[in-house]
Amino acid sequence: MEWFNETLYPNIGQRFQVTKVVFREKTEHQDLIIFETPVLGRALALDGVIQVTEGDEYVYHEMLTHVPLTAHGKAKRMLIVGGGDGGIAREALKHPLERVVMVEIDRAVVDLCTKYMPGVSGGAFDDKRLDLVIADGCKYMAETSERFDVIVVDSTDPQGPGEVLFTEQFYKDCKRSLAPGGVLCVQDGVPFLQPDELVMVNGRLKKIFADAYAYVAAIPTYYGGFMALGWATDDKSLRQTKVEVLSERFDKLSIRTKYYTPHVHAGAFHPPRFIAEKLA
Ligand code: SAM
C-alpha cells in the first residue's frame, strides 16, 4: 500500500495511507496531487504539502471565514486571495454578501478540486456573487482600486507561488484595499513548528495596522497542534466583539457549522501562552 509523506518539514512530518491516486500533474505553478485516504477521504497536496482534506476541511474554512465576517457584522464585499479549493468561498457565500472576488493563481486547482473534491466548494463557483479571477494575488492587490470589507488570504505556505503573499508590500496593498472598518485575515502557519512565520507575519502586520493579532484553530492535518490565523484591522474594537453580539449576529443566519461557534470565536483570540508571547 502506498503512503503520501508530507515534505513540509525536513525532519518531522505526517504520512497518509493512499488507497488511490486520483489525479497528479505538474501544473504551471506547482506539483498537484489529489489522493484518496481511508481516514480523511480525498486530500489535495501542493508541492508536497497538505492543503485540504475532505475529512477536516470544515475546521479551517469555517474559522478563516466566520470569524472576520461575524466580527465585522455588516460586510458586503469580500476578497479571497488563493483559496482555489473553494472552501472559503463556500462558507463565505452563506453570509449576506453582495460580492466575493477570488484571486487564485492556478486554474488547475479550481478545476481539479471542483471535479474530484466537489464537496469542498459545494457549488460556490456557480454562485453569481462570486467573481473568480485567475491571477497572482500579489499583482492583483497592487493594481486593484476596489474596496473590500473583509480580505482573507487562503494561501499556501511562504514558499513557491505563495511566498509573495507574506510580504510587507502585499499587506500594505491589502490595507489600501480595505474599506473603513475592514479586516484582513491570513493563513499564518502552525506556531509550534513554524514560530518564525507567526513572528514575521505579526511583526509586519503590526507596522501597518492599528490592531494586529492572531487567533487559533485546531486543524488535524495542519500537523503540529494549533494553527494561527493572522488578524489585522484599524478598528481595534472588532477583536473585542462580545460573544453575545457574535451570537446575535451569527445565530440569525442559521448557518450549520461543525467547528465554529460564537464562543469558539471569542475563545480563539485567547491563544495558549507560548503563542500569545510571540504576538506580544
Ligand atoms: N488551506 C491551505 C493552507 O492553509 O495551506 C491553503 C489551501 S488553497 C489550495 C492555497 C491556494 O493558494 C492554492 O490554490 C494556490 O494555488 C494559491 N496560491 C499560491 N500562491 C498564490 C498567489 N501568489 N496568488 C494567488 N493564489 C496563490
Ligand 1 atom at minimal distance to the Cα of residue 160: 20
Q: Is beta strand 211-217 parallel, antiparallel or unpaired with respect to 178-187?
A: unpaired
Q: Where are the domains of the chain?
A: 2-53, 57-279
pLDDT of residue 278: 96
Separation of alpha carbons 275 and 277, rounded Å: 5
Could you say which DSSP state residue 226 is in?
Answer: P
CB of 51 shorter than 6 A to ligand 1? yes
- Percent of the chain at pLDDT above 70? 100
Query: 240: how many CB neighbours lie within 10 A of its CB?
Result: 12
**Distance from the alpha carbon of residue 252 to the mean position of ligand 1, in angstroms:** 31
| Grid-cell match 460564537, residue found | 262
Q: Is the CB of 136 under 6 A from ligand 1?
A: yes
pLDDT tens for 106-159 read 999 999 999 999 999 999 999 999 999 999 999 999 999 999 999 999 999 998
Tens digit of each residue's pLDDT (9 = 90 or more) over 247-277: 999 999 999 999 999 999 999 999 999 999 9
Measured from the CB, is residue 65 less than 6 Å from ligand 1? no
Residue 1's pLDDT band (boundaries 50, 70, 90)?
low
Pairing type for strands 130-134 and 31-37 reads: unpaired
Contact 201, 195 (CB under 8 A): no
Distance CA 236, CA 209 (A): 9
Q: Which CATH class is domain 2-53?
A: mainly beta
**Is CATH 3.40.50.1110 correct for 57-279?**
no
Task: Give the alpha-carbon dihedral of 239, 242, 246, 247, to 10 degrees.
Answer: 160
0.85 exceeded by pTM: yes
Active site residue 154: yes
Report the alpha-carbon distance of residue 183 to residue 167 in Å, rounded. 17
52 C-beta closer than 6 A to ligand 1: yes
